[in-house]
Structure formats: C-alpha cells, structure tokens
Structure 1
C-alpha cells in the first residue's frame, strides 16, 4: 500500500512539475507568433542558421518562435515531457553562433540523457531522478550551437509503437485526433508534424534511420540508434551532414570514423520494389503511395525490379525476440508490480517469450547474410517499399495490429540505412486474410483515417546514409515532376 501511494505521488509530482514549468513560460511563450517570429519559423534551417551566423537573427528569437509553436503542439497533442526552455534561454546567450547548428532549437525523444532532467521511460522508477551528465550526442549538438529545449513522449519502456505511458498519458496524431503518431519516437513525430521543431509515416515527417555506429548513442537511457527527424527534406539533409561534420567518432567510442561522403548517382538506376512483405499486404492508401512513387521513378527511365526478400516471417520473429532477448526480464524488473501495463507492451512481451529454437545472434547473422546475397544478386541500387502496412492506427490499435510493422523491423534487423519521404475495395474482407494480417487490419477504417499521411521508405545497405539521402532527393523530385508533393500546411 505504501509503495502504491508513493507511486501515485511520484506521478502526480512529475505531472505538476511539467505544468509549473509551462505556466512559468506563458507570459512569453503563450502568446501568438509575431510577424517576425512567423518568418523565422518558416525559414528553412540552412537559411536560418546562415542568418544567425550573420547576426541578422538572434538565437533567443529563434527559440521564442519554436517554443511558442511547441507549447501549442503540447496543448493539442500532449507531445512534450521535459520542458527545458529556461535552460535553453541561458544557452542562447552563450551558444556557438558560428556553429553549423547555430541557434537552432532541438527537441529530443525522452530517452536522451540531458543534465538536470529525467529519462523516465514512462515508468515510476526513473521519475524525479535528474541525470548528472549530457550524453555525447547532446554535447555534440551544443558544440554545434544548438539549443536543447524540450523532450518528447514515448511508449512505456519503448515496447510499443504507440506513444502512451502511465506518467505522461497518450500523444495524439496532429492530423486526425483519435489516432497514434507512432512510436517509439511518437511524441517527436507529433511535435515536428505540428511544426514545433525541426514531416515518418504516421505523422508526416522526414527522417533517416541510421545504421548502428553512425550517430552517437552512448550515454543515453537506451542503446538504440538515434537519427535526426525534420519538417522538410532539405532540413534533414542539412542537419544530418552538420552532425557528421562534427566528427561524431570523437564524441562516442561506438561510432565509426566515417566522414561525410559526397555521392554521385548514375543517371539510370535499378530500383528494387518490395510490394509486400508476404505477411501483411499494404493497405490501399499505402499501396497507392508506393505505386505513385514507382510510376514517377519509371517515368524518369529508371529500371523497376520486383524485390523478394528472404523470409519476412523470420525477420519479424527474430527482430521482436532480439529486442528483449532476455524475455523482457531487465525491462520489466524496472516496473513496479502495481504499475499498469500498456496492452501493446503486454502483447509484445508475450511474443518475445515464445520458445526460441536456436541462439538468436547466429540466426540474425544468418538472416543478414541471406539478405546481403539477395540484394547483390538482384543488382538493385536501392529499394522502395512502404514503412508500414497501414496508415496511423487508432489509439490502442497496436495490440491487435502489431505485425504490420514488419516493413520497418526488417531493416532494423539487417541494420540497413533507410529514410521516409484510401478507401478499401468493396470486396475487402477480413476472412480472406491470414491470421497475422487479420490483426493488422482489424483497426483499419478508411473513412476515419481520411486525412492521415502515408509515406514511402527508401532503403540502401548498411552505413549508406548519404546514398539514402541522395535517393530520397531523387525520389522527391521525381514525384514533384509527376505532380505529387507533400504539403506541410503550417
């Protein structure tokens, strides 16, 4: 009973801490954007940093513009966790105004270690326990002139793709209420898609999933890969290069010493297309987005090749079991016995605890070898597919629709670099689907999903992030030439 009361008190104190910090900011950040701030907010990152370099714009003015939008995003989507504006204001006075990210407000998912603030992972054990040091990634960004100003919501212990936990509650999709912005970086996606920070598939953001060893990850609360997410492709390319040019390997021993590489693509490319992972076929909206991309690339005279990967079922199984290879014992040991579990987390742990027929590491390496061989034999330059079988799911949809993430976890398993750039047919029936696909589609409702963004995924091989960015640019331009362009609408 005493432990339970302490748990409730801890959550209440943490929520009040956020409320108090926001209330303190309202006299400045609770007002509408001024005309000057609106211009700052809509200025592309490369141009904005250049204006800070020249002294045309002050870092504090950039912070005010981004901060106001972030608080509005919080009001509408519940995307923020740690509010760090006051510390960012101090940083704005002393930041490196000649750095590659000079004066740029940066938000972080709530797993990144920042001195003086919590990494709760959405559970009581880590609440009200501020960290003592910045992680190498945060130090790198500060050295480049950036201003860390907030952290964003995540799933409970990151074992779901809906951003919900017992401390901060549920984050809304900024496009259509009642749907998730995704996870584990869902709070970040909601903030970006709303326009509050530096459009991924569920929320309409641009990102590159980096291979392990390219972006610093040591010193954070979780060891997963970290990558930038931005509101536009040009911002993404600029920020990614700016990070690599800071010599990431000098901040983190786990990073490969790979400087930025300029890539020149051949005029004619062989484009692999994965139309389905063989487990859950893409929904009509997602399939349509993929076909629009294929048509645009074909019109540019690139060769289109249907790519069939090694067993996607094996990829899904190995990936989910590897994430919690100890069957979730370490993760769940951090959770108090009376702390409610998210339904999707519960299902994930059930899957992770299925009997393992062999050592997962050799099995993973065997799958990677098969994938490498299939890629080389196909001769493709890059691969295009959907990021997920469906658009964003309704809240609590991840419990039944877990298997639809196979299009994403496949590339996590092989550690390949990847980047993210409506109605069902009348004869659609769950009865026609396999058992796994039935779950994925149980929450599909084309009418309610109207207005949600969908994306395509561009994939290259391991540590080929620069190549992915080049191919994202090529694909975006091909789509524009074919009359297809994403409108951020802020």
Structure 2
C-alpha cells in the first residue's frame, strides 16, 4: 500500500522529480554497495592472513614431528625449566644443541598459542637460521637462544602490521636492526607476537589476530601493547622476548603477566626497521627493550644488544657499551620513592607491595628518601597532547580500510570527533568531571604551529624541573608504584589515565623497568571495595571494576633512573628481585 502511494506521488510530480529521485536511489545504492564491497575485501584479506598464520603453525608442527622422530629421547620439560644463563652455559659447552632448545620452545609455544592466542606468525626459516649459526666461527653471547619479537619489529619477508589491514601486503625487505643484532649474537628468532590495533592500547586485541588473554586468569587481559610477548613468556613458550614501549608497553604486560621487563634510555636503542604507530610523532620516543623471566636475563640481553653490530648498523646510536662496574657495585643506594603520584590513586595491592619493597631495601642498608614527581596532572596532559598533536587525524587515518577493534571504540571516537565537538564536550564536563574534561581538551590538538612549539617547550621545562628535584635530593634511582594487577578484559580501552604511572618515564626519556613483587591477597580485595580514588569520577569507578576479582594475580613495582643510567636501574631491579626471593624463602 505504501509503495503504491509513493509511486502515485512520483507520477504526479514533474519528470525532473523522478530523475532526481532515481539519481538519489542510485547514489545511495552505490554508496552502500561500495561500503559493503570494501568491508568484504577487508574481511577477505584478514581471513587470508589468518590462513597464513595457520600454515606457519602447520609448517612448524611438521618440522617438530621430524625432529622428534630423529631425537626421541629429548627431555623438553627439563630444557624449558632452565634459566637463561644456565641454558646458555649448556649450549656453549655443547651439553645442549641449538636444535634441541629451539624445538623444545617451538613445541611449547604452539601449545601456549592454542590456549592464549599470543603468536601472530611462526617464522619458518628457523632451519636456515640454524644453518647460518653453525657456520659462524665465533659464538655470540646469545648462542642458540630462541627469541620472540613483537609483531611490528621488522623481519624480512613478513608484514609488520600493528594490527592494521593496510600493512598486510607491505612486506619488510630486510631485517630490522634489532633482529640483525639478535642473529649476529647467536639468537634464533622463531615467532612474532600479538599487539593491539595501532599499538595504542594496553589491551592486546586486534581484528586480524584476535585477543590475547592472561595466562593466570583467562578473564583478564595480558596488557599491552607487548601483550603477546608477556603472555608467551610467562606461559613458558619463550625465554626472551623483544617488546616496545611508548607509554608503558613493555612494563604493563610484564606487570600484568608477572615477569620483569625493561625500557632502556630510548637514545641507546635502535628503532631501525620498527614500524611506528604514530607517523611523525617525536615528542615521546618509542623505545625497544627486553622481557624475560628474571632480571639476569634482561641484563644479559642488554649486554648483547649494546654491541659493535648495533652501532655499525645505526650510527645514530651512541657507542656506549654496558657499564659492568655500575651494575655490579655493592655500595648502598640513595633511592627516592613515592606511594602515589597524586593524579591517579593506586589500588591497595599496588601501594602495599611498594611499601614492602621499600622496607626490604631499607633493611638491606639502602637509604630511602621520600620523592614526589611534580605536577603529574600536567605531564599526563602533555602526554595526550603529544599523542594527538594533530588532533588525532593521523590516528584516525590509520583506521581507514580497517574494522575498528571493539577495545578501541572509545579511542576511535576521540580521534575522529570534530575539534569543535571535543571542545564543547570538554566545556560541559568541566564543572562535574574536571579531570576528564582536561583529557578531552588535551586531545583537541594545538590551535596553531606556534601552540605546538610552545607545548614542546613546556615539555622540556618540565623535564628540567623533574631532574632538578631529583638532583636536589641527590638520588641515584627511584622506586615507584607499577600499575597492576591485570585488568579485566574490555577495560583498558576505556581509560588511559592509569598510565600516569608509566608514561611519565617515556616523556622524560628515562630508563625504567618492572619487577614482580607478590600477588593480590584477600585483604587487598576486601580493601578495594572501599576504594574511591581521588575524584570518585567515572575513571575511578572504572578502575575499581577493572582490577577487581584479582585474587592471586601478580603485582609489581617499578624502578627508574636518569637518562643513560640504565645499569643502575637494572641494579635496583636485581636487588629487589633478590631481596624478595630471599624473603619468600624465610
């Protein structure tokens, strides 16, 4: 009946009306048809990539079967239990062969990936790597060690997608500097690990490879953006992983999964061949670093990385080798510490383990000095301004030709929202939620190039202010809270504010690392019920929901040092790990 009335109406109109209506229908049909076709092409390309991943798994399973047929007596379980330093000793004295160690880890990684979804692709040139390793006359410090790398670290012949479809067909023409250094030092790189879409989320999930879950609790996330590495290592599928860190992306998954992780001074590590998540953004430097089961492994890897090979491949890296004297010193340290940063209130477990670590360090003869980072609310706003210095347009463009991951829906809205709407929303929220209002204003981007330069000057002034306060107190290193335990799935994408505990050391360009320190107790869970945060605003309420039901989940503490003082940061991390281990044995 309705259709007849429409036709009757059109027949009564002049011929031009019918032409306009027909043209409108054709345009609408074309628009929606093109959108459907584009989406179908995206889905098809993602399905093809999943098939490539599945084929890499089948390839490794075939090689694994062949290896076991030729070596039926291999005890993989004992190999997997060996700490990295002990494993290297056995490889060097030929008690173990690189093939035996590699396939022990490949077998475990396949098993872990089935459970946690942490590997994006297995690198099927392992036999070629083994062949090249045997041809080397000199055995490097990582001789025969199986290593995994984060997905956007370049590997010849493979894409580095950052979880984005447009990069699936862009294959790396050569290995990244880090992969070249690993191979030169004797490591065997055997897998790439999962990341969030665009890397800018601490929930490791993307539409191509899916969600990575936490090995300790499948209802929790593995953290991000190096979440695939964190999950694989703690589950036993890797002994040494390479992650990257822009706002906490090594330290967060390390903390959530319960392993040590280290973000070096950015200028001491090469990013050659590592795909950037925000093209052209230099205010906050991306940094590459190791994740492992213990601090000794981190130290060994840093010694291996800072070598002539890296300095030759990337002459922009200052040729500063590992300072063994600083790391091995037994003199007492003057350690600054803070229980909270004044911007985002820590949960009970975070605060408790920080104070317990402080007490152990004091009992060991170190001097602990109260220290409060200045104006963390200001530095957080600077961080957001740096990330979206163009108002979010670069990030918004990244989502073209993509399916937006549900965990990034809120962020995507902020990137794509017109500037005028952001400012209006910020204005409306200012009286009731001033912290959230400031975040939205910071995401608007500068009004002009002059404003952008002024923000960079403000950032440098803050860095000088922070260092002056550090030097006024004559600090060697700082002990501070680390965001933990792992969040319930779905929450990281809803709020960036808790990153105030990690991003500060990215924007300052300081080395920083995390050390596991205890687990969530029943008392922590009970006290969490009374947690209100500083503002009792939506972020504080979300945070409480994000970390609840965390009984038994790992907790961590964080260490930081001045730029180029990486070794003293690692020294404090080792000291904390040792003291905590002794305490647990009492």
TM-score over 0.5 for the alignment? yes
- Counterpart secondary structure, 1:200: helix
Match of 2:478 among 361, 383, 387: 383
Q: What is aligned with 1:5?
A: 40
- CA RMSD, Structure 1 to Structure 2 (Å): 2.4
CA displacement at 1:469 relative to structure 2: 1.2
- Equivalent residue number for residue 309 of structure 1: 373
Equivalent residue number for residue 180 of structure 2: 139
- 1:176 aligns with 217
Residues 396, 412 of structure 2: 8 Å contact kept: no
Alignment check: 8 A CA contact 1:140 1:246 kept: no
Aligned length: 482
SS at 1:157 equivalent: coil
Alpha-carbon spacing, 1:261–1:380, altered in 2? closer, same or farther (3 Å): same
Alignment of 1:154-173 (within 5 A): 154-173=195-214
* Residue equivalent to 2:53: 18
Q: CA deviation at 1:345?
A: 3.3
2:288 aligned with 1:226: yes
Match of 1:211?
Answer: 265
* Contact kept? 1:403, 1:436, Cα under 8 Å: no
Indicate the residue corresponding to 2:312 in structure 1: 250
Counterpart position of 1:192:
233
1:346 and 2:381 correspond:
no
Q: Contact 1:120 / 1:127 at 8 angstroms: preserved in 2?
A: yes
Structure 1 residue aligned with 2:4 = none
Query: Residue 392 in 1 paired to residue 454 in 2?
Result: no
Distance 1:34 1:238, change over 3 A: farther
> Secondary structure of the equivalent of 2:303?
helix
> Which segment is superposed worse, 297-306 or 264-273?
264-273
Q: Is the 8 Å Cα contact of residues 177 and 313 (structure 2) preserved in structure 1?
A: yes
TM-score scaled by length of structure 2: 0.77
Q: 1:328 to 1:355 in 2, by over 3 A?
A: closer
Whether contact under 8 Å (2:214, 2:220) holds in the other structure is: yes
Q: How much has 1:470 moved relative to structure 2?
A: 1.2
> Aligned equivalents of 1:431 and 1:267: distance in 2?
38
Q: Which of 519, 528, 540 is the equivalent residue of 1:438?
A: 540
Distance 1:344 1:67 in 2: 37
Q: Deviations over 1:432-462 (max 9, x none)?
A: 734375155242454x212221110011111
Deviation at 1:115, TM superposition (A): 0.3
CA distance in 1 between counterparts of 2:295 and 2:112 reads 21
Please identify, of 189-198 and 96-105, the stretch whose mean Cα deviation from structure 2 is larger: 96-105
Partner of residue 118, structure 2: 79
Distance 1:134 1:430, change over 3 A: same
Q: 2:128 aligns with which of 87, 90, 94?
A: 90
On the 8 A contact 1:179/1:395 being kept in 2, the answer is yes
Structure with more helix by fraction: 2
| Cα 1:89–1:472 shift into 2, 3 Å | same
| Preserved contact between residue 160 and residue 183 of structure 1 (Cα < 8 Å) | yes
Partners of 2:344 and 2:533 within 8 A in 1: no
Question: Could you say if the C-alpha distance between residues 335 and 77 of structure 1 is closer, same or farther in structure 2, counting changes exceeding 3 Å?
Answer: same
What does 1:422-437 align with in structure 2 at a 5 Å threshold? 422-425=524-527, 428-430=530-532, 433-435=535-537, 437=539
Give the alignment of 1:442-457 within 5 angstroms. 442-446=544-548, 448-457=549-558
Q: Which residue number corresponds to residue 488 of structure 1?
A: none
CA distance in 1, matches of 2:300, 2:573: 13
Instruction: Tell me by how many angstroms 1:276 deviates.
Output: 0.5
Tell me the residue number matched to 2:109.
Answer: 70
| Aligned mates of 1:327, 1:460 — CA distance in 2 | 32
Shift of 1:317: 1.2
Which residue of 481, 486, 509 maps to 1:415? Answer: 509
Map 1:261-340 to 2 at 5 A: 261-262=323-324, 263=326, 265=329, 267-336=331-400, 339-340=403-404
Judge which range, 58-67 or 320-329, deviates more.
320-329
Contact 1:124-1:336 at 8 Å conserved across structures: no
Are residues 315 and 24 of structure 1, via their aligned partners in 2, closer, same or farther at CA, if it must alter by over 3 Å?
Answer: same
TM-score in terms of structure 1 length:
0.92
Q: Is the 1:347–1:399 Cα contact (8 Å) retained in structure 2?
A: no
Q: Distance in 1 between matches of 2:387 and 2:456?
A: 11
CA displacement 1:99-156 (0-9 Å, x = unmatched) = 1111111111111010011111111101133211111111111111111111111111
Q: Is the 8 A contact 2:112 2:232 kept in 1?
A: yes
* 2:391–2:445 Cα contact (<8 Å) kept: no
TM superposition shift of 1:483: 2.9
> What is the SS of the residue equivalent to 2:156?
coil
Instruction: Give the distance between the partners of 1:436 and 1:462, measured in 2 at CA.
Output: 35
Structure-2 separation of matches of 1:251 and 1:47: 30
Separation (CA, whole Å) in 1 of partners of 2:197 and 2:375: 30
Distance in 2 between residues matched to 1:254 and 1:194, nearest whole Å: 36
Could you report, residue by residue, the CA deviation over 1:178-230 in whole angstroms, capped at 9, with x for unpaired residues?
11111111111111111111292111121211111212112211272100111
Q: How much does 1:242 deviate?
A: 1.4
Do the aligned partners of residues 214 and 443 (structure 1) sit closer, same or farther apart at CA in structure 2, a change above 3 Å counting? Answer: same
Output one character per residue of 1:56-95: Cα deviation in whole Å (capped at 9) or x when no partner. Answer: 32211111011111111111110010211x2112211221
Where structure 2 has 5 or more consecutive residues not aligned to the other structure, the ranges are 1-35, 241-252, 277-284, 418-439, 516-523
What does residue 42 of structure 1 align with? 81
Indicate which of 180, 186, 190 corresponds to 1:149: 190
Tell me the distance in 2 between the aligned counterparts of 1:427 and 1:188.
32
- Provide the rounded CA distance (Å) in 1 between the counterparts of 2:534 and 2:166: 45
- Partners in 1 of 2:340 and 2:217 — Cα distance? 26
